[in-house]
Amino acid sequence: MVDRALEAICAALLAATVLVAFVAVIFRYVLGSALSWSFEASLMLLTYLTFIGSYLAMRRNAHLKVEVLAAKLPRVGQLLVFSLNQLVIVGVASIMVIYGIRQVALFHSQTSLVIELPLSLLYAVIPVGGLLMGLQGLVELRSGLRRWRHGAALFEAGAGAKAEL
């Protein structure tokens, strides 16, 4: 259910980004008058799309990865590589949360130049995305440890767990 809502949000963000870009091109090249707000709007839309989309890709185990070498390791080696990978994900996500919150606080009183929206809105998606990815990394770690205990492979096509939050 969470995935469906986030998919709908990403679809709306993508549609809005395409619409803003299309309207900006029409205004600039057909009507001869550039839109002052189109760059800022596109930047904000793409930022949200990137961080929410990254979380969704992580939930679906769709990020680019190369598991050929890890799959050839002994089971204990696979466990170590898998666990280290998930812990690195959680660590990076934690950095996103900590520094994202700092950015939100740093820019809380500033607004964008043209649209005049608070810049904290632009940066707010960073700690939110980091929190979601960090939680998903922990869910994947727990799920992988369970699979490993039951003798299942950690590295194979479609091995990623998709747990509902």
Across residues 78-106, what is the average pLDDT?
A: 94
Beta strands in the chain (DSSP E): none
Residue with more model confidence, 1 or 23: 23
Contact 96, 133 (CB under 8 A): yes
pLDDT value at residue 162? 44
Beta strands in 3-123 (DSSP E): none
Across residues 107-123, what is the average pLDDT?
A: 89
| pLDDT higher than threshold 50 for residue 160 | no
Contact 131, 97 (CB under 8 A): yes
| pLDDT higher than threshold 80 for residue 165 | no
Q: What is the pLDDT confidence band of residue 156, given thresholds at 50, 70 and 90?
A: low
Contact 56, 7 (CB under 8 A): yes
| pLDDT higher than threshold 60 for residue 164 | no
111 phi and psi angles, rounded to 5 deg: -120, 160
pLDDT value at residue 134? 96
Q: What is the pLDDT confidence band of residue 145, given thresholds at 50, 70 and 90?
A: very high
Contact 31, 24 (CB under 8 A): no
Query: Which residue ranges make up each domain of the chain?
Result: 2-149
pLDDT value at residue 159? 43
pTM (predicted TM-score): 0.81
Using CA atoms, how far apart are residues 155 and 157, in angstroms rounded to an integer? 7
